[in-house]
Every structure is written in C-alpha cells, then in structure tokens.
Amino acid sequence: MRLVDTAKLLELQNKPSKIRNICIVAHVDHGKTTLADSLISSNGIISQRMSGKLRYMDSRPDEQERGITMKSSSISLYHVLEKQEYLVNLIDSPGHIDFSSEVSTAVRLCDGAIVVVDVVEGVCPQTRLALKQAYSENIKAVLVLNKIDRLILEMKMTALDAYVHISQVLEQVNAVMGELFASDILKNEENFIEKQQKIPNVLTEEQSNEDNNFYDWTSALEDSDDSMLYFSPEQGNVVFASAIDGWGFTIQTFAKLFSEKLGVKEDILRRVLWGDFYLNTKTKRFMKGAQEKAKKPLFVQVIFDNLWNVYETVILRNEKEKVPVICEKLGIKLTTRDLRHTDSRIQLQSLMMQWLPLSYTVLNMVCKELPSPKEISPEKVEKLMCSQIRDFESYHAETKKLKSDFLACDSSDDRPLIIFVSKMFSFEKKFLPENRPKALTAEEMSLRRERARQIREEQKQNHANLETTQNIEVKDAENDNNLEKGVEDEIERENQNQPAFIAFARIFSGKVKKSDKVYVLGPKHDPSKALSFIDLKVDANKKLKDLHSDEHITIAEIKSLYILMGRELEEIDEAVAGNIIGIGGLDEHILKTATLSSTIACPAFSEIQYAAVPILRVAIEPIYPSQLPQLVKGLKLLNQSDPCVQVLLQETGEHVLVTAGEVHLQRCLEDLKNIYAKIPLSVSEPIVPFRETIVDPPKIDMANEEIDSQNIDKGLSAQQAPVITIYTSNKQSKIKIKAKPIPKEITELLDKSTDLLKAISQHIKTLHGLSRNEKLDSQLDKLHLNGTKNQLSERMLKLIEIFKSNLQTICDKLSPEWKNLIDQIWSVGPRNCGPNLLLNQTTDYKTKYIYHEEEIKEDPRFEYESSFVNGFQLATLAGPLCDEPMMGVAFCVEEWTLDKSYVEDTTHTFGPLSGQIMSAVKEACRRAFQVQPQRLMAAMYSCDIVVDQKVLDDYNLFEPNILFPK
C-alpha cells in the first residue's frame, strides 16, 4: 500500500531545499532498474519481495521481454531523514548505447546522479560515458558498487580478495573522473592565459620573451581543488550493495553499529574503516600499514567477514538451524513463513533487507550528499543559457538578469517562469488521469437511478400516444441519430486511440498553473534578435507547423500538469520551481525540445549533447499503398516522441527512418506498427550512406604502366585540372570553375568545425540581407547578432582565430597551391557547414567569409552572390554519381562576369537572372566534378575495445600467427 498520497507530495513540492532531482546511470545490466525497484518499494508502491523481479519502471512489453530499459521514466518518492521530510524525483535511464540519448535528456533535468557499477565487470564503456555526461552537465554524482553477492556466489572470492578487487574498481572509476577533471582544468587554463595576454603588461622585453617560452601547465592542476571530485567511502558518497538481494551499506552504517561495541567514537571509526588500517588486538588501537604487516584491513575484519559468514551459512552450506541464531544476534525478526521457506535465497533476502535495507541507505546518501535545486551553481546556469560558441556577456541586459532567477529557484509571483522541456513522450489517452473512470458517490448513484426511471416512464407514455405514421418518422429520425452517433463514436474512438504527448520538463524558476499562457521558445530562439524589435507581436493562433524559417516563438496554453509516478500520472493544478513534472497540451508547439517562459528575453537552453548519432537507415513503406497517409502521420508522431530518431523524405519519394542502432530500430518499428501508424509495414535492408569525392589523377593505369609520359606527349599536365566554362541562358553572365580534391587534413578540420562554420555562414547571410536594405544604418543599429550590435561575441571571434590558425598551419605543410587558402574561402557546403569548399580565385571580385569584419563594397555582382553560393550548395548536396553529398572537393571560381546590357528584357523567356546563375553554378560544379577521377566513399565503422590485461593474456590476441597468418 502506498505510504503517501498526492497531497503530501504537493506539500513537499513547495519546499525546493527539500527536493532532490536525481537519475540513475550505468552500463547495461549493471542493476539500475533493480535498484530503482528497491527505492520504489520503500514507498509501498510495490512489494519488497517483488523488487528486482517486477522492474516497475520498465512499462513497455519489449523492455520486460529483453530485460533492458529503453526509455527514461520518472517517479516521485517520499523519504524521511533525521525527522526532515524529502521529495526525491528519481529518473531511471537506459544503459544500452542505442538509447544513450534518453540518458542525455534525463541528465539535463537533474542536479545529481547515482552511478551504478557492477563490481564483477568493473568500469565499462557506458560507465565512462555516463560519468562524462554527468560531469559535462555539472551535476554531482554518488557511487553504488553493486552485485557484491556475485563475488561470493559466482567468483568464490574470499573476503580479503573481494576487498582488493573492489578497491581496484573504485580506483578505475576515480581515474575516469580524474581524466575529465584534468582535461577541463587545462582547457580553462588555456582560456585564462589568452585573456591575460590581452592585458597590457609592463614587463621588460627579456622577461616577456622568457614567459612566452615557458609556462608551467602543472600549476593549474596543483592549485585546483579536487577534494570533492572523487568517490571515497569515508566521505559517504559510496554504497556497497547487492540490489537483487535488497541490501546496501556505507561506512557510516557500520561506524554507527560498531562504535558502541568497540568502544570507539563514531567519527574515528568512520575515518579508519576504509583504507590501510587494522585493529591491533593487544593494544586495542587502530594502526596503519595493514598491507605492509600482512594484516587484515579493518574493513574486512568488521564488515566483509560478517557478510561472508551470513552468505556461507544461509546459501552455500544451507544451515537452516543457524538462521534464527543469526537473526537474534542481529536483532532481526523473520516471519515463520520465511524461516520455513525452502529457497535459501529468499531467506537471505528477507534477512538482509531488514539488517541492511538498501533503499534506506541509498536515499539517506542522496539526501545528504546530492544538492537541492536551490544549490544550482553559476557555472551550470551559464552552461544552460549559452551554447558552446556563445558568451554569457554577449546577451542582452534583460537576458543576463535571468541568471539571478535561475540561482534563486523561487516561485514568487514576481519571478519569471522558466521551464525546460527535454523530450516529449507518448501516453495512452485512456490512461490519463482526466480520462479514468471516477468512482460515484452514493448520492450520485441514487440521482442517476431516479433520472433513468423518469426517462423510462416518459418513453412508455410517448410510445402509447404516437400514431403509426409518427412511429415511422420517429424510427427514421432514430436511424439518422444512430448513424450520426455511430460516426461520432468512430471519430471519438479514433481520437482516443491516438497517443497523447506529455512534455518531460523541469521548472527552473517561477510557478505554472493550469490554463496559463506561456511563450514556447524553439531551440533556435535568440533573445537578442527578439528584443531588438520594438513592436514584436507573437500570433497566439500560430502553431509550430505555421511558423516561417525565421520564427521560433509560439504561445501555448498549459492544459494539464502531472506528477510523474512511473507507469502512472497524477494530475495537479499547479507546480513550482525545482520540480520535475509532466505538461499536457504542447504537442502542436514542440517537436523534440523547447523552453517555456513568461518572457521572450529568456534564451533557448543550450543544445543537449547526444553521445550516439543516428546512423542506421532503412526505407519504410506500407504494405498496402492506400495506407500511405497513415504512415506519414505515424512517422511524424514517432519523430516527436523519440529524441534520437530522424525521419527523412528522399527526392525519390522514399520515407527513410534513421536510428541509433539495431535495437533502437526494432523498438521504433514496433511503435510504428502498434501505436503511431497501426498498419503493416515493409522495411528495406539497411541503407549504406555514401559520399562522393574526386582524387588526384592516377600516375599508373590498370596495366601498371606510367601515365605521366603519355600526358607529356600530349602536352597535358597531370596536375592541371580542366576548367569548365558556362553561360547563363540569357548570356549575361559567364562563369569559369574547376574542381580539385581537398587534402585529407583540411577535410577533417572542416568536418570537426561544423557548428562554427554554420554560425559564420548565418552571420554572413544576415550582413548580406542588411546591405541590400536601403535603411542599412537603422537596421544595423537595431541588430544584435550573437553579441553587441552586429558584432560577433568574443568567444566566436576566438574560435574563428583558432580555426584560421589551425587551417594555416595545415596549409603551410602542403603544396604552394594551398598557401593562400584562407583568403580564398567563399563558402563551405553542403548546408553551409560541410567538408567542401567554394574558393574565389577571380582577380576582380572580392568576397569574404572568415574575414567577415571587412566592409562590403558595392559591386553589381554582389546582388547575385547568394544565388551563386546556393548553386554551389545544391551541387555539393547531391553529386552526379548517385545523388549523395560530396566530401573533400574544392570548387575554384576563376572568372565571373556580369553584363546586363547583353540581352534586353529576357526575364519572361529565361526567368530571373538570380535563378539562372544558381542553375549555371550548379551545372558547372557538377561538370567540373565529372571531368576529374570520381570515387564513392563508404562509411567506415571504428571501434575501440577496452579490456583487462588478463583477457589479453587468455586469448593471446597479439600473437603474430593470429594477426598475420603465414
């Protein structure tokens, strides 16, 4: 029976300092959901005996069948610690790599994390990833070392061996944290040095040269405080546990139990229970150097020996007569049913759950060690408000004021409302609280009976007085009514069968109530641009589908609010800052993520960094073509419900589904068939993505004969690329373009700098748009572009300088033709951020890309520059080989002339000149590509395998005979 009702949870929601928002993260099968079951059982939601078997947070049938979690789900728990009441919002997240996007959405909403590690398997790839995600989001973590029972029953380790093994696992976890900390510190130190270099100094020339030649990078790591970074049992942030058997303890648990028996203060015992300490039986003192003197560590003497004795007695030797004796010594009372149970494992679980209850230990640690929403750090706030290429200082003054509201986490009426929606999840409409059948009171039932009796009497009286003709009319009318009612019922059933979308959200500031109207800010919303318009009006009737490309704000009404209770939802009327909630009625306003606020000055939260990128593509079509509209609708719903899935419509008309892996694909197809589209589907084999490229002309042909001599005889240079000359249809413009392959190093740099290149392209587009406006000066005064006025932020400028420096370093090592590459870059593509270059090698037309700060000079061709660039973008997006994107191709523009006086009034014949230039450039790029040696590039799968040394020894992987057979 549930211990607390919704009213109690609502009361605790109004005390942010007593709230803990946490998530459980770990590698797959390390025991997250079993641990969650144990914590849920502490609230009476499920039975203690069913914890670990029921898997309450896995509500999907395929999750139960596979035994893995596929989606993040939240539940609110009540806990009392030292007479203080706490509300713990717990999120159970998946451990499979295919569903790592669900972990990212969960971590974004939390202030703390429970990292679970299987002590047998140790630190696994997803463990590293979970620690990295938690660290990057600035959330504090605690550690649960799980499945210690496996060391006893499966590995047959002694207590001392198990202690050594667990110490090594703990060191592995701390080593990962140390790597993350060191890389972060050195990165911040680099930023600090660059800022210091900008400050004018008064040192002598000799001193400054000396400083430039030497810098002690280790000083930053030495000066940084990492005392609270690592997991240490004496600090109280490590739990030793067996979730399947329902027990767990910390050092403090046994320090409290044994302080009276040993006659030692609890604080002293806490400090010596873990580590290289032992008990000197003669002097009755704790001494250091257990390993050196071959003594048992105190941890083994006091804790593990007792634990091992219980397991050996109850399970390994199955001595049932000793169970009551153990219970008496531990002060535990087992029921007669448990004492007579034939399964010794059930007996052990009943005993251990009472002696060392796991839920009590873990929830105590969570409430003590993990921060409340009130304790959010300024660094985390700035990370939430700013993307990687933006400075907090570059925001508008009104936006910067919101930082204090984040830190206050206050629900007063004068505070702005700030909510972040990390994902949308589907829920069956019939199971929503408002649609559940409600129990009738005795008065309501009697009123209904009386009303039914009156209706029957009226029908009898009317029936007796009606004539035959009237009867016929009545029957016809009834038939019409029945037909209309049948149609209405069918529509109602169809609507009822469609899933409802609930927003998975966290309130960072303010208070939200039902029927409130809020701004829904899309991921691309920029408050600086929005605030620059004095008379900005947002149309309240517009939905997400009605917005133009430059619009990112809608107004939505909060239709319902919910407390998330795992498989169920509890409806509430209002929610305040610091809580994780569900919000209904936003499915037409949010695609995947969004920010809700009462002010447009609020920035869109920084983009969630997903660990896995969707790579597995399949084409989908309905088995019956007439059901295509249902498939399209189903794909839209699937795209909205899954943060990692992508749905594409190819030019060929194919509907392509892109997922993170095979398991993710199977889950998406099941959802499409059973929930969203509800039609049989035909699915293709996985589609392999290609990239089109060109290579340098070969020097040896297929017969291994040199080609260079043949080229010399013909008077051709093997290094000289053919130039393609093309005219627009009306002959007003002439374009000369040649294509050449980009060196691998430059391609890799372009591929890594995607976000930066896209931001530069967007900035250039805006400047071009302003320069065409007659009132240019007034527009520039109003504009705020990623900084103050039309200037880029300091961080952006710094990233551009780093990019230029890296590119120049690479070019200096290459042949002379790449020496002036930076000055020639006109655009990158496809989509303004790809690994292909458009280079301006004309003598009379100047463009700018990286050197965006230069003034735009008047030129008749400038009006058509965007059309020219768009032609290049179209060509690189779909190459001539198989309509796949290009990669590693540079298109050099050697000449571009424009003579509008050549032909008069040709618009009606050939269309606008801008369109002609776009088509001409696209065709020229494709021809220039085709005259070079063309190649198709296939995707390569790279895999890092991390194993222990003993595995390498067992399989002898590095023997030459295995790798290179003779």
Instruction: Specify the pTM.
Output: 0.82
pLDDT reported for residue 714: 44
Lowest mean pLDDT among 54-58, 107-111, 249-253, 366-370: 54-58
pLDDT (average), residues 143-157: 94
Q: What is the separation of C-alpha 155 from the centre of its chain, rounded to a whole number of angstroms? A: 37
Give 908-915's long-range contacts (Cβ < 8 A, gap of 24+): 909/729, 909/730, 910/728, 910/729, 910/730, 911/729, 913/728, 913/730, 913/732, 913/733, 913/864, 914/863, 914/864, 914/867, 915/867
Tell me how far the alpha carbon of residue 726 is from its chain's centroid. Answer: 47
State the amino acid at position 893 in one-letter form. V
pLDDT confidence tier of residue 6, bands split at 50, 70 and 90: confident
Greatest CA span in the chain, whole angstroms? Answer: 119
DSSP string, 117-162: EETTT-S-HHHHHHHHHHHHTT-EEEEEEE-HHHHHHTS---HHHH
Instruction: Name the band, by pLDDT with cuts 50, 70 and 90, for residue 207.
Output: very low
User: Averaged over 599-624, what is the pLDDT?
Assistant: 88
715 has a pLDDT exceeding 90: no
3-state secondary structure at position 934: strand
Q: For residues 824 and 867, is the Cβ–Cβ distance under 8 A?
A: no
* 114 three-class SS: strand
Per-residue pLDDT tens digits for 266-319 = 888 888 889 888 888 777 788 888 888 888 899 998 899 999 999 999 999 888
| Residues with Cβ within 8 Å of residue 428, at least 6 apart in sequence | 499, 500
The yes-or-no verdict on residue 667 having pLDDT over 50 is yes
pLDDT value of position 538:
84
Give SS3 for 783.
coil
Q: What is the mean pLDDT of residues 700-713?
A: 55
Kindly report, residue by residue over 181-192, the tens digit of the pLDDT: 888 887 766 655
Contacts of 518 (CB under 8 A, 6+ apart): 417, 419, 512, 555, 556, 558, 596, 597, 598
List the Cα angle 145/352/170 in 5-degree steps: 10
Residue 943: CB atoms within 10 A of its CB come to 4
| DSSP SS3 for 420 | strand
Of 185 and 205, which is predicted with more confidence? 185
pLDDT of residue 676: 92
Token pair 């004796």: residue: 325
What is the amino acid identity at position 514? K
Instruction: Read off the pLDDT of residues 806-834 as tens digits, 9 standing for 90 and up.
Output: 899 999 888 888 888 888 899 998 888 88
Mean pLDDT of the region 38-61: 87
CA angle 817/821/824 to nearest 5° reads 115
Strand 112-118 relative to strand 140-146, pairing = parallel
What DSSP designation does 451 have? H
Q: pLDDT band at 496, cuts 50/70/90?
A: low
Q: Evaluate whether 417 touches 598 at the Cβ level (below 8 Å).
A: yes
Predicted confidence (pLDDT) at residue 583 exceeds the cutoff of 50 = yes
